[in-house]
Structure 1
Amino acid sequence: MRPIRGPRRRRARRTRFGVAVVAAAIVVAGLALRTADPSALLQLRNLAFDEYQRLSPRTPDPDVPVRVVAIDEASLAELGQWPWPRTVIAEIVGQLRDAGAAAVAVDLAFSETDRADPRSALTSLPDGPARRELLASLGDTSSDRRLADDLATMPAVLGLILTNETGGGPVPVKSGFASAGDPPEPYLPAFTGVTAPIAPLRDAAAGLGAMNWIPDRDQIVRKVPLLFDVRDAVVPSLAAEALRVAQGASTIVVRASNASGQTAFGARSGINAVKIGAVAIETDARGAVRVHYRASDPSRFLSAADVLAGRIDPDAVAGRIVLIGATAPGLLDLRATPIDPAVPGVEIHAQLLEHVLSGARLVHPDWASGLEIVAFVALAILIATATGLLPVRFSVGLGLVVICAWIAASWVAFSRAGLLLDPTFPALGAAAVLFATTGYVGIREERDRRQIRSAFGRYVAPGLVEELVRDPEKLKLGGEIKEMTILFTDMRGFTTVSEGMDAERLTAFVNAFLTPLTDSVLAHRGTIDKYIGDAVMAFWNAPLDDPDHARNACRAALAMLEAIAAFNRRDHGHPPIAIGIGLNTGECCVGNLGSDRRFDYSVIGDDVNIASRLEGQTKAYGVPIIIGERTAAAVPDLALVEFDRVRVKGKKRPISLFGLFGDADHAGDPAFLAIRAAMDTLTDAYRAGRFDDAAAALDRLEQADDGRFATIVALYRERLLIHGGSPAPEGWTGVHDLETK
């Protein structure tokens, strides 16, 4: 047994070593990719975390002190089209104040004076007594002043619009800021300009916050920044400012890397958390919160019309942060979230506040990236070890189990602890190791069977070999009817060429002759049926389907002529040889044909016999390739010439004979076109019985011919000598009956 076990052990060691090399290469490539962290990996992580949120959205808490006053379709229908006069906004703010709202944040831009104010309309009129009288009747209070007075009576926050325009005055900020650790400004989303509310409103508001969004590349709002940097000034978001004002806090505290208690080891890793009043909020390195969204629920909104009319329960507002914003689709303030394709922008502010105040947590901590890399390496080692020791089916099963285990661990971390552990990179990297290593083992196993396949493939088409390997049940008698193209080729003057050769030399010569012909067939998706001495039979469209079988057969025939020309250029010690090729397309029976003891994969049928007859007629017509009607119909762009219509022996239906002289490029050659035109005129006149016209066309053909049609010209000369000067016999069709097979 030692002589047997020794080679097996050596093969096993080589296999395990190869598996280790493959796994190590993938691990190194994976680590390099993870270090670069291209946008494709980020998008995969986002898609996975989005799916987690869809599977487990945040549970709504009715006690969370956040409400939205919606400028919805019902309010627009009751109060009129947008924009409303600011006196309406002032009345809504007053109603919320009277109901005891802790803070009101208005998600609307008030960067221009109220155009609905009658005073604004009167200022555009020419000056005169009537204009002054109307202005005096309106009093001194504008709608903007009315809104400013109401805002000044309660904790109110107005929105800023951050831009990337240069210039502008000072950045209006009403909150104080303090930081611990590294300066936070370099990590915050940066803008260069700001569009603020008009001065009366800006001065009256207790807070000012940015309304901006920063969606991901797919326009989904996953993270909401709490802070922004505008020309080195820190500006809070609308939600962050509302939270500060509602608590009566004066300062927002930012904690960054290298602060007390933060072990960044001197590295500048960004922001860790933001504290607003008594609320500490974990953030990413840029001061943004990844919101754990709940499904959008319009029933949780308060309609602006109901607030204005006093139709709400004061307990729904008392002690809560109330945001006023547009929710009607026509106002176009819609955003996409991981859960909903379109929600009002004001709801994202509200969901951020709900996320923070409900104690929800959705973070990717600093150590998570390291854990993901360790998980990838550990899974790769485990899978590579299993692949090297276990059969492929078991190692694949084990690999899939451990990959699923990591995905399950990521899900548990999300659903139980609010931790974002990337399921995609470790799982996909481990899957790459699994399939690469098992593929390597499969290749090694296939190599052991290669000798058998190689020997079998010498006699049967390679496609059939693979079909038989996959399904041994196909080794039985029987076949199928399908359209195929059949090729026969034979050497001209074999007897003369072989004279004087002994058996060994003759065998070498025939093998050297058949090899390029075989290569031409196989290179164009054909199957060798058999060798008949110096002849070759091949077919197309079996065992594997080939929709372009007629064209591939024609290309193979032209390649055979080129191969024989190259064969003749070599010194074989004998005169140049020539071949004739017949091609025909038709319905044939193909399959394993023979007896119970011995059978071959072959093809039979009338169209096979016709292909053989066409090859035989190449000698009679002096052309190297003759193809049948159906073959010609499938390749009309090739260089074809129809030169006769015949009735083969034993058949009643006549067929047209076409010579194949080149590819599509040759078909456009002017000299060839002249020959084909003369040949078409000749055959049309001959079949119509107009022998004088046929003789004239024959003269033109002879003048245009480059020597390839000499035999055909001679044949038609002989026929016209017989029929010339006499009218065509009754029932004349011009069909020539072949006397030989």
Structure 2
Amino acid sequence: MATKRAASTRFPFFWVPIAAGVIGLILLLQATTTVLDRLELRVQDGHFALRQVFRSERVQEGVSLVEHNPHISPDILLVGIDPSTLARFGRWPFPRGRHADLIDSFTRVSNPDNRERALFLDLFFIEPSESAVDDALLLRSIQNNDRVFLETIVERSAPLQEHYQEYFARHEALFQAAGRIKNVQGDWSRMPSFFGIQAPLQPYARAVRGYGHANIWDDHDGILRRQPMIARVSERLESYRFDTLLEDYGSLSLNPDAFERLIWFDRSGNDHDVALPLSEERLRALLHRLDAEAPRLPIDTTGDGDLDGYTFLLHHHQEQFIPAITLSLALEYFNKSLDDIQVRLGESIVIPAPQSFNSREGVWEPYRIQTRPPVIDENGQEIQEARYRPVEEIAIPIDEDGAMRINYMGRRSSPARDGYQTFPVRPYHGYAGRIPDPDPQSWPATRAVENKIVMVGAFAQGMADDEKMTPYGLMYGVEVHANALNTILMDRFIYHLPGWGNTLILAGGGLLVALLAAWFSTIWAMAGTLVLLVVFFFSTTIAFDLNSVVIAFAAPALTMALCFVSVVVYRVTREERDKRRIRDVFGKYVSPAVVSEILQSPPELGGVDKELTVFFSDIRGFTTLSESLSPQELVNHLNLYLTAMTDTILAYQGTLDKYVGDEIMCFWGAPLPQEDHALLACKSALKQLQVLDQMNSEWPPEKRINIGIGINSGIMTVGNMGSLGRMNYTLMGDNVNLGARLEGTNKEYATRVIISEHTYGLVRDKIIARELDNIRVKGKNKPVVIYELIDVPEGLDPGSVVSGRS
């Protein structure tokens, strides 16, 4: 069982400032570095790894019953260009006519209500095909389908000057066909800047149902965890020389409310905003920074054709906000457009009043999410209806960059029919290789894709650079988009516990572990800390799995570990200090063997009542002795005597209390308990007389010493007494005074050792003693029987027992 440390009674809350210091250090580290944030990302990857997407039950050999994860939308379907497709159609890339076949296979359905909700091609059409016929076929298929979504790529660097107008004209065609984001609130100037864009050819752009960028951001470790729901693309409208603008800045008209800005680039290519409205004071202040950081533009200041000066360029840009392809697909699914959303940077993108299409009734209904599937009996009859949660609005949480955390639902899907699939995957050739005739009379009523978002992309290794690193390992890009889309459709966003909540957990965990480390043994405290960390980790995992709530683990766990280590180090340091102090203090009083025992079991601090035996001795005729010797001779002679007597006391495991001139005070039974404390005191007294007799035989008569010894046993108060600055380990009490009185009584009875009736009662069967008298000593009203100690029949060997413990 864990034991409390006695030392903690001196300062029972020493662990509080230690824990507070560790907590403050971790909070400072959290505020000033990204180390803990990076650790937290790895912990979140662990939460993903522990997530169970499917639960399979083996019902018979070769047959498993698979239960689908209710948090995965049934309306997301992946169409993979997989190895079987490549085996059938040949090497990649396919002719664009093949993609036209794929689109036509979805278009040619006799009942439009049974068609897909959207058809996303995770393919790029940024260059004309080698065959104009293929382009014409694909363009016609896109127009006939009217539900095709194509993607763009936003880039940090601007396109080459010869392509600049064309690339932005392509995206303008997308804006004209499918709309643009206008309602953006918040500080959009802090969003990452993209100056280039790759968009599909203009004919394709004008024919699509929707568009969106396909960028997904990786973190420091190269893992994709965030997708920007909107990206800011800066189109350059005009450039100005700084010297010219300084002279005529009033002619420049910029409207920040229309997302316009004036920028300059430093030598590293980073963009910087120019503060608006323009003024001569601001421009001249800017000049110093331009001169230090911006690239210089050589100019001819005299007009003689020679470059003899330099200036800088400022650029007028128009900002455009590009939706993520997953956001555009979700809006199509919810029967909403880009005009309907509200973007609040650092907060959310709100999709109000989402709807879902009821393909059986052919009507749009308020959106709801199934929370419990229906219960079906063995005959296939529904015995309990499904439960649904109505969704009045979809609020996508985004950071200041406009990015959403992707809530991955499981590891990568396999294109094999019997392989593991987080999302259902069907082969590309299953559609592109089975095209209904152009005659509508021959079209099937359905292709089993009612109201689904069909996402077409690479699903074969080595086919393209489309394998991305995710918390579940490598995953094809189209499935990364599927996880992001599912996050939106299922309203299954990743939320973070507020900062104050994480701080409370961090502080509470640190204080709790510090308390364990302070009040329990190191082994038990370590076990408790490990249990606490394991329980905390799985609690955070459960919270993440059930509610997609991220509770910070890395910082609290590090706090707990450091609190444990810090308190243990403090305890070890204090123990070493206490041992040194005990060795210094008690080494003067007791034998080295007793000191070792004390270090194992430190004595109680302060005064405690114990049954002890006290010993007093004093020199008879000390005045005569001192008159016969010089002061220096007297000191040397006394030192010889006191050394011999002290060595004998320590040999019998006695504790030396003090010297008072020529008087010696010592005791037995403390600081460690001794069962035979009275017998040890008696043996020590007789042994001291033997040693003294031997010394006297070697001294001349004038130097010989005669002593009297008084011994008493009983309850006495023992402990460190005095002040904080100076204390002494000593005895107090009435029984101590009696021992001192018995020492002086030897003079009246001409004896050498007198013991009290209390001591005699403890050793009567082991000693030879003579009863002297029944006396009343000074300060005592009750008479005391006293005895002269004569001998110990068993001998004077002190024995090997140092302490006695129950």
What's the TM-score once normalised by structure 2's chain length? 0.47
Aligned to 1:48: 43
**Residue of structure 2 aligned with 1:151, choices 138, 142, 145:** 142
State the 1:390 CA deviation. Answer: 4.1
Aligned to 1:238: 325
**Residue of structure 2 aligned with 1:110, choices 109, 125, 138:** 125
Structure 1 residues 111 and 434: CA distance shift in structure 2, 3 A: same
Structure 1 residues 45 and 323: CA distance shift in structure 2, 3 A: same
Q: Residues 643-694 of structure 1, C-alpha deviation per residue, up to 9 Å, x if partnerless?
A: xxxxxxxxxxxxxxxxxxxxxxxxxxxxxxxxxxxxxxxxxxxxxxxxxxxx
State the 1:378 CA deviation. Answer: 1.6
Aligned to 1:329: 461
Structure 1 residues 453 and 13: CA distance shift in structure 2, 3 A: closer
One-letter code aligned to 2:147: P
Aligned to 1:353: 485
Q: Residues 303-327 of structure 1, C-alpha deviation per residue, up to 9 Å, x if partnerless?
A: 1111112289944323211111111
Structure 1 residues 17 and 101: CA distance shift in structure 2, 3 A: closer
Aligned to 2:577: 447
**Residue of structure 2 aligned with 1:177, choices 174, 181, 187:** 181
Contact kept, 8 Å, 1:291 with 1:355, in 2: the verdict is yes
State the 1:295 CA deviation. Answer: 2.4
Contact kept, 8 Å, 1:225 with 1:237, in 2: the verdict is yes
State the 1:185 CA deviation. Answer: 3.0
State the 1:361 CA deviation. Answer: 3.3
Q: Are 1:343 and 2:353 matched, yes or no?
A: no
Q: Are 1:86 and 2:96 matched, yes or no?
A: yes
Structure 1 residues 296 and 387: CA distance shift in structure 2, 3 A: closer
CA distance in 2, matches of 1:433, 1:292: 34
Q: How does 1:496-645 map to 2 (within 5 A)?
A: none
Contact kept, 8 Å, 1:65 with 1:321, in 2: the verdict is yes
Aligned to 1:363: 495
CA distance in 2, matches of 1:340, 1:226: 22
Structure 1 residues 339 and 35: CA distance shift in structure 2, 3 A: closer
Structure 1 residues 377 and 14: CA distance shift in structure 2, 3 A: same
CA distance in 2, matches of 1:338, 1:158: 23
Aligned to 1:27: 23
Contact kept, 8 Å, 1:164 with 1:191, in 2: the verdict is yes
Q: Are 1:223 and 2:226 matched, yes or no?
A: yes
CA distance in 2, matches of 1:77, 1:184: 51
CA distance in 2, matches of 1:14, 1:65: 67
CA distance in 1, matches of 2:91, 2:457: 15
Query: Quick check: which has more Rg, 1 or 2?
Result: 2
State the 1:189 CA deviation. Answer: 4.4
Q: Residues 34-90 of structure 1, C-alpha deviation per residue, up to 9 Å, x if partnerless?
A: 222x33212211111111111114455586111122112221221121221111111
One-letter code aligned to 1:39: T
Contact kept, 8 Å, 1:256 with 1:270, in 2: the verdict is no
Contact kept, 8 Å, 1:271 with 1:283, in 2: the verdict is yes
Contact kept, 8 Å, 1:216 with 1:222, in 2: the verdict is yes
Structure having the higher strand fraction is: 2
CA distance in 1, matches of 2:188, 2:228: 13
State the 1:190 CA deviation. Answer: 3.3
State the 1:449 CA deviation. Answer: 3.2
Q: CA RMSD in A?
A: 3.3
CA distance in 2, matches of 1:103, 1:361: 22
CA distance in 2, matches of 1:407, 1:205: 47
Structure 1 residues 225 and 57: CA distance shift in structure 2, 3 A: farther
CA distance in 2, matches of 1:339, 1:386: 35
Q: Residues 195-238 of structure 1, C-alpha deviation per residue, up to 9 Å, x if partnerless?
A: 11111111111212111221112221122222211122111112
Structure 1 residues 364 and 87: CA distance shift in structure 2, 3 A: same
Contact kept, 8 Å, 2:544 with 2:550, in 1: the verdict is yes
Structure 1 residues 57 and 446: CA distance shift in structure 2, 3 A: same
What is the SS of the residue equivalent to 1:212? coil
State the 1:377 CA deviation. Answer: 1.2
CA distance in 2, matches of 1:338, 1:14: 54
Structure 1 residues 78 and 400: CA distance shift in structure 2, 3 A: closer
Structure 1 residues 89 and 294: CA distance shift in structure 2, 3 A: same
Structure 1 residues 395 and 256: CA distance shift in structure 2, 3 A: farther
Q: Which has the higher contact order (CA 8 A, sep 6+)?
A: 2
Structure 1 residues 89 and 214: CA distance shift in structure 2, 3 A: same
CA distance in 2, matches of 1:384, 1:346: 48
Aligned to 2:405: 289
CA distance in 1, matches of 2:435, 2:45: 38
Aligned to 1:663: none
Contact kept, 8 Å, 2:412 with 2:476, in 1: the verdict is no
Structure 1 residues 383 and 256: CA distance shift in structure 2, 3 A: farther
Structure 1 residues 64 and 356: CA distance shift in structure 2, 3 A: farther
Q: Are 1:64 and 2:140 matched, yes or no?
A: no
Aligned to 2:349: 273
**Residue of structure 2 aligned with 1:161, choices 139, 153, 156:** 153
Structure 1 residues 423 and 19: CA distance shift in structure 2, 3 A: same
Report how many aligned residue pairs link the two structures: 413
Q: Are 1:419 and 2:535 matched, yes or no?
A: no
One-letter code aligned to 2:37: L
Contact kept, 8 Å, 1:206 with 1:245, in 2: the verdict is no
State the 1:418 CA deviation. Answer: 1.2
Q: Residues 416-465 of structure 1, C-alpha deviation per residue, up to 9 Å, x if partnerless?
A: 2110111111111121111111221122113333479999xxxxxxxxxx
Identity of aligned residues (%): 21
What's the TM-score once normalised by structure 1's chain length? 0.51
CA distance in 2, matches of 1:95, 1:176: 30
**Residue of structure 2 aligned with 1:301, choices 414, 425, 442:** 425
Structure having the higher helix fraction is: 1
Contact kept, 8 Å, 1:57 with 1:292, in 2: the verdict is no
Q: How does 1:399-478 map to 2 (within 5 A)?
A: 399-450=529-580
CA distance in 1, matches of 2:93, 2:468: 24
Contact kept, 8 Å, 1:192 with 1:230, in 2: the verdict is yes
State the 1:176 CA deviation. Answer: 3.5
Q: Which runs of 5+ in 2 are unaligned?
A: 55-67, 110-114, 235-318, 356-392, 418-423, 437-443, 586-598, 601-806
CA distance in 2, matches of 1:389, 1:340: 42
One-letter code aligned to 2:24: V
Structure 1 residues 148 and 246: CA distance shift in structure 2, 3 A: farther
CA distance in 2, matches of 1:12, 1:158: 70
Aligned to 1:310: 434
